[in-house]
Amino acid sequence: MQGIYLNPIQVTAMIRTAEREKEVIVVRCKRKGPASKPGGPDEGDLYDLHCTTKPEDYVAAGTRDRRAEDSNSGVLTVYAVNRQDPVTKRWGMFRRVNIDAVQKVIYRGREIEVRVT
């Protein structure tokens, strides 16, 4: 059986599609830096972000142009429902994904590997 692979541009498109369709997409990434908390994924470890549409009641805290920041930094800001906000204790936080560090995408029951070409 031949493998199916995505490139980083296709990964970004799939995440945006999942957000529009209010679906959950799992992106498996390789952590770039050291762990942010004890026991968390450390540099080089794989971790999953379960991304979906931001909550309907979400109100931006400021006027920063995050899309421009994302574009300049090679990342994508996503809403991850498997991360808990340390202040409010609600599930769901915005995270930035280094698209070039995504190893695998799991969407609608299909696991697809990512290759940077």
Structure tokens at 91: 């599930």
With cut-offs at 50, 70 and 90, classify the pLDDT of residue 3: low
Count of the separate structural domains present in the chain: 1
In which domain, by residue range, is 73 found? 5-114
pTM of the model: 0.83
pLDDT tens column, 48-68: 999 999 888 887 777 788 888
